[in-house]
Amino acid sequence: MTKYDVQEYSNQLEKDLNLFEQWHTLIENLIDTESLEVILDILKKIVLFDLHQSKMVRIDTPKWFPATHWVTVAFAQIARNASLNDIEIILPQAQRVAEIHFSEWPNASFRFVKAPLDAGGYYLEETAQELRVVYWDIFDNRFYLDTEQFSKLVQTEAIQLGGVAALAVFQQRLTNIAKQLSEIGYDSVLPGMDNTDQDQLLMRQKELLPDVLDSLFVKAAEQQFILKKMKSADNGVEINIGEVAIQLAQSTLSEHQTEWYYKVVDENKDITIYTLFQQLPFFYKWYQTHINVVGLRDKREVFVD
């Protein structure tokens, strides 16, 4: 028989209650602040916080949320502050991770999932198609766009329904977040996302074989678009779409090395390459067919399937 010590019981209960008070303070501060640095600091503490240290007090299982839930909530807070457009946080019935509904895309929902250990960090995914948008590593300060899956996402019905204007709003939102993160030391890489920076979007491979380019000539012609040689480049072609053009050109790095890139020519600086993927199915299909060569160069090493 073990002697019962009321004081020991009281001490342990006090420790547990103090632990939950610390947790309560973190959650309160997360939803009350608009400071990016404070949100990130609180999020790190939440992810590392171990409520299982509690020996007597327990959270009811349906109210226990994993780290991905709090990453989603924190990102929603950051995204809301980065744009005038509204955001809703929804907790679907019987789910333990919240979803973000961006007002520009009312027919789509997003949430974070844990990336494989090979990558670390978290992926923001569109829930219906499970297509990644960005990779976010809150401890190693990395924020990267998955150009391959985002180009697929803009083809989906939920995103197409929002139209070009909605895509522009979402891209501006992510661009603003990336710029703010860069200001506090993040490595932020979102190729093709910023409508003001469409001049030199590098392709994955530095060489572009003639048959790949020829196939674009064919696909463009089938849709009554003319792919013509650029006058301003030794080796390059362009497609004109009204007052906008998409150029594929080659630049010289050294005497023996060159590389290919895209350039979106738009005097108003409204259009991005993702806008053109959405509006020109033949261009997207060509891009997807040859994506290992002509795909936008991004941080592929963190996007593990």
Model pLDDT for residues 183-222, shown as the tens digit of each residue: 999 999 999 999 999 999 999 998 888 899 999 999 999 9
Residue 124, strand partner residues: 112, 134
* Span 147-160, average pLDDT: 94
**Domains in the chain: boundaries:** 12-189, 201-302
Distances in whole angstroms, Cα of residue 60 to Cα of each of 98, 123, 163, 262: 17, 27, 42, 53
* Span 248-274, average pLDDT: 88
Residue 33 has pLDDT above 80, yes or no: yes
- Per the model's pLDDT, the better-predicted residue between 63 and 236 turns out to be 236
Residue 232 has pLDDT above 70, yes or no: no
> How far from chain centre, in Å, is Cα 283?
22
Assigned token pair, 143: 């924020």
Residue 245, strand partner residues: 240, 265
Q: What is the pLDDT of residues 240-260, one digit of tens each?
A: 998 999 999 988 776 677 899
For position 1, what pLDDT does the model report? 58
Residue 102, strand partner residues: 87
Task: Specify the DSSP element, H or E, that contains 175.
Answer: helix 163-183
| pTM of the shown model | 0.92
Q: Which of 264, 292, 297 is nearest to 279 (CA)?
A: 264
C-alpha–C-alpha distance, residues 216 and 211, integer Å: 9
Q: Tell me the residue type at 171.
A: Q
**Region of poorest pLDDT, from 73-77, 119-123, 272-276, 297-301:** 119-123
C-alpha–C-alpha distance, residues 5 and 280, integer Å: 75
Average pLDDT value over all residues in the chain = 90
Q: What is the pLDDT of residues 106-129, one digit of tens each?
A: 999 999 999 987 777 999 999 999
For position 256, what pLDDT does the model report? 72
In the sheet that 187-189 helps form, which strands lie side by side, from edge to edge?
87-90, 99-102, 110-114, 122-126, 131-137, 142-145, 187-189
Residue 279 has pLDDT above 70, yes or no: yes
> How far from chain centre, in Å, is Cα 114?
14
According to CATH, the topology of domain 201-302 is TATA-Binding Protein (3.30.310)
160 CB-near residues (< 8 Å, 6+ apart):
154, 278
For position 280, what pLDDT does the model report? 92
Asked whether 218 and 230 are in contact (CB, 8 A), the reply is no
User: Strand, coil or helix: what is 219?
Assistant: helix
Q: What is the DSSP letter of 28?
A: H
> What number of residues does the chain have?
305
Share of the chain above pLDDT 90, in %: 68
